[in-house]
């Protein structure tokens, strides 16, 4: 019996890259996540993390390093304080769309089960600006969030999700997202985790890739959205999630949070087919 048979009226975004970017069997996913040391209640209490979205065999360890900094926020028991909703911010990769796209799905499927979309909070975001669209099309063909969903579901199995994709880097869109995040989530920060899906750098030149990754991490650590966006627009950095990162920083929700990024949470990979060099980093705000 399929998931759709069980929930015939629900809109379910199926797992598209399971078996390609990460394991497609529940047992294999659980085993791999366990191997990363992601045990609930044992880590820090990050309010937000930046995690990469390549295949797990390439960037999984960096993503795990970020999520490990959240595991201290697992609710001890049902109804207790801890993460009850996860805002997942990503960038449109496979299309020219410009805008802020909130998912219209009721659930996102992973090999671990279904992640419930928090429709009420999604609607609250949409009500903040006419620049938000309830549009699933960008979500249906984008992998950047899906690769991270199993981490969220494994650590916070009872949490709902609020998936938002940003297309482009227009200032008006970034400003609208920043304002909406503050309005909707400032009153419920105690129970909210922000996850930004982004790779740190990519270049055909190894030295340039290293410089871009180092600059991106430094700018994120400084928590100033304008220099981060300036570097992105001037192509000094190539981090795909720089615009959504700038929006979260611009919301003011992370003020006073310490930034954590250790050398062992940064991974460099060279693609032998394209000769491109990629950097993946796990970063947290605590």
Q: What is the pLDDT of residues 188-220, one digit of tens each?
A: 999 999 999 999 999 999 999 999 999 999 999
Residue 228 lies in a domain: yes
**Residue 4 confidence (pLDDT):** 57
Q: Would you mind telling me the total number of residues written for the chain in this entry? A: 286
Q: Is residue 285 part of a domain?
A: no
Is residue 277, in this structure, part of any structural domain at all?
A: no
Q: Is residue 195 part of a domain?
A: yes
| Assigned domain for 46 exists | no
**Separation in Å, CA 130 to CA 90, 96, 155, 210, 237:** 19, 19, 34, 39, 30
The candidate with the shortest Cα–Cα distance to 129, out of 78, 85, 182, 87, is 182
* CA 230/CA 218 separation, integer angstroms: 14
**Residue 142 confidence (pLDDT) above 90:** no
Q: What mean pLDDT is reported for the chain?
A: 93
- Helix or strand run (H / E) with residue 86: strand 85-91
49 assigned to some structural domain = no
Q: Is residue 236 part of a domain?
A: yes
Q: What pLDDT does 1 receive? A: 41
Q: Are 145 and 163 contacting, i.e. CB atoms less than 8 angstroms apart?
A: yes
Task: Assign residue 109 the CATH number of its domain.
Answer: 3.40.830.10
Q: What residues make up the domain containing 233?
A: 70-256
SS3 assignment, position 180:
helix
Split into its structural domains, the chain has a count of 1
13 membership: H or E segment, kind and range: strand 12-13
240, with CB counted inside 10 A (0-12, 13-18, 19+), is buried
In a domain, 155, yes or no: yes
């Amino acid at each position: 019996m399929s998931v759709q048979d069980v929930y015939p009226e629900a809109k379910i975004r199926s797992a598209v890259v399971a078996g390609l970017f990460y394991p497609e069997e529940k047992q294999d996913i659980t085993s791999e996540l366990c191997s990363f040391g992601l045990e609930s209640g044992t880590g820090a209490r990050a309010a937000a993390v930046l995690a990469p979205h390549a295949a797990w065999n390439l960037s999984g360890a960096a993503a795990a390093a970020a999520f490990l900094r959240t595991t201290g926020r697992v609710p001890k028991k049902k109804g207790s304080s801890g993460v009850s909703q996860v805002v997942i911010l990503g960038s449109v990769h496979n299309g020219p769309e410009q805008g802020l796209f909130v998912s219209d799905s009721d659930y996102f499927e992973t090999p671990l089960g279904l992640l419930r979309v928090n429709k009420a909070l999604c609607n609250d975001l949409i009500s903040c600006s006419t620049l938000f669209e309830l549009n699933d099309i960008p979500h249906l063909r984008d992998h950047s969030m899906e690769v991270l969903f199993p981490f969220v579901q494994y650590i916070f199995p009872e949490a709902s999700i609020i998936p938002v994709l940003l297309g482009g880097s227009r200032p008006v869109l970034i400003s609208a997202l920043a304002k909406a995040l503050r309005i909707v989530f400032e009153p419920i920060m105690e129970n909210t985790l922000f996850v930004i899906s982004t790779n740190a750098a990519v270049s055909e030149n190894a030295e340039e890739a290293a410089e871009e990754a180092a600059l991106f991490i430094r700018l994120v650590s400084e928590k100033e959205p304008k220099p981060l966006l300036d570097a992105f627009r001037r192509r000094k950095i190539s981090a795909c999630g720089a615009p959504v990162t700038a929006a979260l920083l611009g919301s003011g929700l992370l003020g006073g949070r310490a930034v954590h990024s250790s050398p062992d949470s940064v991974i460099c990979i060279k693609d032998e087919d394209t000769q491109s060099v990629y950097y993946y980093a796990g970063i947290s705000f605590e």
